[in-house]
Structure 1
């Protein structure tokens, strides 16, 4: 007895250890048992990955480093210095981007990208037909297709064209959508279907003229189709700007690195090269803006002064002709010298006043607001000249920023405010300079009048000639000075250098997408995860228990045995699979259950009750075989059939006796031992096993099991036998079992794999927790060991292969208890009595 208890304890410990490794065992079992699905999933996923890698469009990455020349006298450097001053005064809370940051924004702008796309005609994409997927072609297309400038500016939806060549003719098909400017009108779709024998060829459409020209060196094959997609240059530029990133290589340098991703590596390098060309072109235009405006101002002034000088010379000629003057004499050389000196000063003063007035008029023109002012035109006032130079630097920087930002942008607004302040300062400076010059001119005029009065006695002709000559000299000096400034400005305009310089030619780094290792790794993971996930989901959705692991999850009650399905060849009389002097699987299973039962029974406890939730879960089969297992120990065992609503012991043991049983005993108030012995039959299976069957089916089974006579019968059986096994009705259908539980010491609750619903364990746990049944334990019946998962889960492999054990019994024959009524019980009783 002590050895049996130790064996039972060892069995329970093994089950607890198995429960602790549930997760690992579950995953391992799912992988091993479904390896075919796992292999199939891996083949499919990896195959799809290989196909994807074979036909996916590869994306390449190209980059170029651009040195942005930093001119210390440039407007950007001045703006950077101003921004540093602004940060120092605002404690860094607000600052305007400048320098390399501004240049990187310009390099990544959509306007610059659109200009580059137009230069390279990248708004047209070409594809050549292939067996599986059309192939992108660049520069090798047999036909160049283009859209005129009007169409480029107004195209709103893409144009798709196909060109086939057969029998010396080009067959052009396509479709486009015309979108009216009026939003209330709906877009109109048109189709193109034209044929031509020669190229070039053009088609006029509502969205512009489409031209077709042969690409020299490339021939259109007859078995291929050329597809062209035309989009708006602005849309194509936006796509390229999005695909490109600009970054600064280091905070201490002015080198910008441009990286772009494209499906064609050659197109990526061409785009980067042309982008730098367009960037330098725009930068040169910005740099030359001041010089061009200065040249425009000088030419305007030269034209005006030339007309005035011509009029003065004509007046001098007519005066000399009228008076017949050839060479007037001067009375006093000193007087004339002094007069000439102050005349020169007077000329210079008038020149400065004239320049200040002209610049002031230029600034007051609305068209020139916030634009660069003429500089280096001969002003002598240093304050006004310095302010004009500073004004032009800020104006140039503002115009450059307007290429990538609006006038209300935070980076432009401070510059506009600075221009307005500087414009007011320039006006004040010129006004002050003009007043100072006028004062100087008045003083010079007084000195001039003094010396001029000394020669007042000269003839009127000489005085008139002197006045005309003075005017001529002023005009001539101003004219020569402006001619010199124009030449200097032209030299500055011709000496403009590129702002950006490519350090190294654009380099293709290689293919960045699709990444074969990552794609294959993802396919491998999906190939493993999908079948496991599906199997796990199916397991989660199952509403019936499958085996030991499911029961462990649903209840904390001890599981004392897992009974395999026995084949009909292993069964003998009464479906007995436990035999003397044999050592197969079923014997070992019931020996294990026997040890666990002995371990759970305390000293003096003998009564073991079998029940289940519903019929067909193997109560009677398990009770009979466990009783035989105990009988093989030499113990006297009696098997009592208290499922009196639908008895099965007689049928199971093949006994054609429906009169003897416990029912007649329960009908008596005080059954004696003689009455009891008269109702007990031999099992015919083992000499130590007796049967007390149900007997005739009574009309009131619930009342009978509630009688005191049941307690008397069980007490008498306990005196005569070592163990009393009671086969009861399913507790989930009738209440008889709950009444019988008062005489039992141990309840073995039967459940059946792939039969018992998981929800049944709510009832089992409730009965155990509320102690409506004594000392409840669970036995799992009907485990199909031919399934591999049970071999892994239960570890019975050492006992041989269980596939030979077929399914036993037809559980559906138990029927439904709810169909029984009083009349039904009576009919059954009559039939039994007849038998």
Structure 2
């Protein structure tokens, strides 16, 4: 079990080593990819504008903590703050538009550099916008070049420069939407020669941009804190926008809380004007009446009756006072007001039902207004609240009418009672009674005036001491470095891409490559046929080693091949030569190259070798020994019964005296017929008597049947495949030939194997690249 695990671990290690080695062969592509990616990252960082971020923190105050929540229905005593509503109000178009208008963000400034054009917070000289935000209907830009003698402004619409000498635009007639002025000094002389850009945009577009740029998040679950973020190319601009947004939001909340106080003050001011006119009229009436009737004091003999009547009059006074207040409240309700504004509260009506209805009415008005801000006019809840307001208003009318009827009844009863007491003081002149009635009216008006004045002061105090709706935890602060682009992340991503892209290309190439690479590919497709040799790639000028003493990589590889071929040859005791076929699936896999060099390798160990060119359709041996293609050879022997094959022998290599060659000869019209006429068998039998090895260069097996017709004459068949050339699916054809017995004693030889794909003998042959053989 341990041995099995050890073997499995060794196989995994070998696989990993092979995979690593496969990619390390292309190390220069990885190095190039990293260099290109890092250069691209540097150029990206160099030409990308820097973006900075600023953040601020605020706390939404709760009414239960002593301050009112600016946008919630605080009259319901809600202790939980709906931060989502507050976020929507903060990001509402109305609030953001106020910020844009207050900061005048419809005008933006940029500094044009040699590489980047960067947004800045302000220009180094004075600029005054002469156009209203509402008059900006489309985007426009103006390039301002600071020359040595003045400004040169180039509108984007005309591209015609306008020159303003002495750095002052007010002294030159123009139609620009701004005025410029500057006083150059030694401190600001660095601005000369620079170019600035002023851009104008409609307030709606700018508001939409700022609204989209503001990011608001809740800081933790159950927290009342909000974090506001804004990003742009200018740190100062980020901070200004956030601080102004906080200021506008706070003011908006305070204004909401002051609405009731303002409405109460406005109501009382209107009553003051009416009461002042009525008091003036009463005072003048008393003066005129006394002067006309010569009245000064009351009769002392009606003291008891007067005391009783006085008590009754006080009750009647209170009743009439309540009637007037009820009438005033009813007049307020009857005024046309489509928006159902707030009603004055606590004006002195001594009816708990009416006061409760008025308070509920104001409560629903505030709730409706808050819902309109956060949800809109058409929200179902808003429509429901409007209906409830109408119902409540009808109830208030009914209550006031009921209360007025009750007061009228009380007044009638008190009036009758007063008449009874008045009859007891019949001695009082009727004129004095008239004076008393007028005086009573004056006191009623005076008392009501003082009461309303007190209520006005209370409302004014509430208006003046309204506390803020938020607490600023942290004003806007910008971070030190830019948030985009991030240098560290950019270089890291570039480095990773520099590795991934070459890796992906190499992996995809390997995945889509259907050609064999080496021993493992062949063994995977046909493990039953042995592999007797892997031949390295060699340069084209070193295809044939003609020197028996050659010790090159190529010669050593073929000596190993010749040794391995001996092991697959059957043992015979007849001392006759061995016949070895060299074939392949298709043209170009190197069978002729291997046939020649294998025969030379055998000849170099003092063996007599005969090389026969049996590829009668496309002979190639003659090209390696510089002989005529049509020189008499095998085809002549097979066709001419009188031709002796020994007459076709050629010694193509001077340093190999034991090596002879029979070329293919003239290309016949019927190669298959010639190979099966018995003459080829006779040739091999006679050659076995004189040679130790007969190497036969045959035709490709998949193209013609020539090799199959003579395959049984071989003692062994060397089947050539070529790395990076032979398709894997072609090996299935050779597998079928072996399993069916059509090729006798077959063994694979892999040609043109690179160093990374070799079997790994461990001897470091140093195989070279660039082999291109001819078949």
**Does TM, normalized by the shorter one, top 0.5?**
yes
SS at match of 1:562: strand
**Residue matched to 2:217:** 247
Gap regions ≥5 residues in structure 1: 1-13, 86-96, 177-188, 784-788, 815-835
Alignment of 1:68 onto 2:49: no
| CA shift digits 1:521-559 (9 cap, x unpaired) | 12222333445555666777889x695389659955765
Q: Quick check: 1:71–1:77 contact (8 Å CA) kept in 2?
A: no
Alignment of 1:27 onto 2:23: yes
Q: Quick check: 1:371–1:395 contact (8 Å CA) kept in 2?
A: yes
CA distance in 1, matches of 2:172, 2:244: 29
**Residue matched to 1:173:** 154
> Paired residue for 1:363, among 324, 333, 344?
333
Gap regions ≥5 residues in structure 2: 1-9
Q: CA deviation at 1:433?
A: 3.7
Larger mean CA deviation between 729-738 and 223-232 belongs to 729-738
Q: CA deviation at 1:518?
A: 0.7
Q: Quick check: 2:60–2:69 contact (8 Å CA) kept in 1?
A: no
**Residue matched to 1:183:** none
> Paired residue for 1:528, among 477, 490, 499?
499
1:739 to 1:415, Cα distance in 2 relative to 1, 3 A: farther
**Residue matched to 2:145:** 164
Q: CA deviation at 1:260?
A: 2.5
Alignment of 1:790 onto 2:741: no
CA distance in 2, matches of 1:415, 1:203: 60
CA distance in 2, matches of 1:746, 1:440: 138
RMSD between aligned residues: 4.5
Q: Quick check: 2:25–2:756 contact (8 Å CA) kept in 1?
A: no
Q: CA deviation at 1:618?
A: 2.6
| CA shift digits 1:125-164 (9 cap, x unpaired) | 2223434334443245212242433xx1242322211223
| CA shift digits 1:286-320 (9 cap, x unpaired) | 12111111111111122222223333333333333
Q: Quick check: 2:545–2:555 contact (8 Å CA) kept in 1?
A: no
Larger mean CA deviation between 709-718 and 63-72 belongs to 709-718
CA distance in 1, matches of 2:150, 2:315: 83
Q: Quick check: 2:55–2:478 contact (8 Å CA) kept in 1?
A: yes
SS at match of 2:156: strand
| CA shift digits 1:382-403 (9 cap, x unpaired) | 2332332343244335434544
SS at match of 2:337: helix
TM-score (norm 1): 0.76
Q: Quick check: 1:577–1:586 contact (8 Å CA) kept in 2?
A: no
TM-score (norm 2): 0.81
Larger mean CA deviation between 236-245 and 653-662 belongs to 653-662
CA distance in 1, matches of 2:729, 2:493: 42
CA distance in 2, matches of 1:483, 1:16: 97
SS at match of 2:718: strand
- How many equivalent pairs are there? 749
Q: Write the mapping of 1:767-782 to structure 2, written as runs, cut at 5 A.
A: 767-769=734-736, 774=743, 777-782=747-752
> Paired residue for 2:170, among 193, 197, 201?
201
Q: Write the mapping of 1:339-418 to structure 2, written as runs, cut at 5 A.
A: 339-367=309-337, 369-409=339-379, 412=382, 416=386
| CA shift digits 1:38-93 (9 cap, x unpaired) | 445444433443344345433333222223332238476973796979xxxxxxxx
| CA shift digits 1:428-469 (9 cap, x unpaired) | 544444444444444434433443444456433233333333
**Residue matched to 1:641:** 613
CA distance in 1, matches of 2:50, 2:387: 50
CA distance in 1, matches of 2:676, 2:398: 121
| CA shift digits 1:235-279 (9 cap, x unpaired) | 333333333322333444433322322322233233333222222
Larger mean CA deviation between 277-286 and 197-206 belongs to 197-206
Q: Quick check: 2:614–2:634 contact (8 Å CA) kept in 1?
A: no
CA distance in 2, matches of 1:746, 1:451: 154
**Residue matched to 1:121:** 104
SS at match of 1:486: helix
> Paired residue for 1:609, among 570, 581, 587?
581
**Residue matched to 1:819:** none
CA distance in 1, matches of 2:89, 2:156: 36
Q: Quick check: 1:57–1:263 contact (8 Å CA) kept in 2?
A: yes
CA distance in 2, matches of 1:429, 1:165: 76
Q: Quick check: 1:70–1:77 contact (8 Å CA) kept in 2?
A: no
Q: Quick check: 2:578–2:692 contact (8 Å CA) kept in 1?
A: yes
**Residue matched to 1:518:** 489
1:165 to 1:496, Cα distance in 2 relative to 1, 3 A: same
> Paired residue for 2:195, among 225, 240, 265?
225
Alignment of 1:726 onto 2:716: no
**Residue matched to 1:236:** 206
SS at match of 1:510: coil
